[in-house]
Amino acid sequence: MKMIAVAVVAGLLGSGMSAEAAPARKFGMAHARAIALKAAPGKIVDAEYEKEGGGWRYSFDIRQGKRIHEIGVGAFTGRIVEDKFEGPGSRD
């Protein structure tokens, strides 16, 4: 869990954004993970806190057998905002 938080902060800093640029969120990473895994059972192989489409969300890549299921969870609502399968060799 600490590695994910470090990766999120490093990703924000590496993209030119400061960690302070992300607003306070209603749901933490652990709660968002539980929501994502309920929607798509499997093993989380990547997790991010990101701004996409004008809103902040958690994004999870979940391995289900040989495919990757991407689930986005709204950081303020806890709702699923993305639910798709990545194509083979896709780099998002």
Residue 92: the pLDDT is 55
Pure H helices in 1-92 = 2-14, 29-39
Read off the tokens for 22. 């992300």
Residue 5: the pLDDT is 44
Task: Indicate yes or no: pTM above 0.85.
Answer: no
Cβ neighbours of residue 51 under 8 Å, at least 6 residues apart? 22, 57
Please give the average pLDDT of every successive group of 10 residues along the chain, which has 92 residues.
44 49 81 98 97 93 96 95 84 58
Number of CB atoms found within 10 A of residue 50's CB: 17
Pick the CATH number of 23-86 from 2.60.40.3080, 3.40.309.10, 3.40.109.10, 3.10.450.40: 3.10.450.40
Cβ neighbours of residue 47 under 8 Å, at least 6 residues apart? 4, 7, 8, 29, 33, 58, 59, 60, 61
CA distances to 34, 66, 74 from 48, rounded to whole Å, are 14, 21, 12
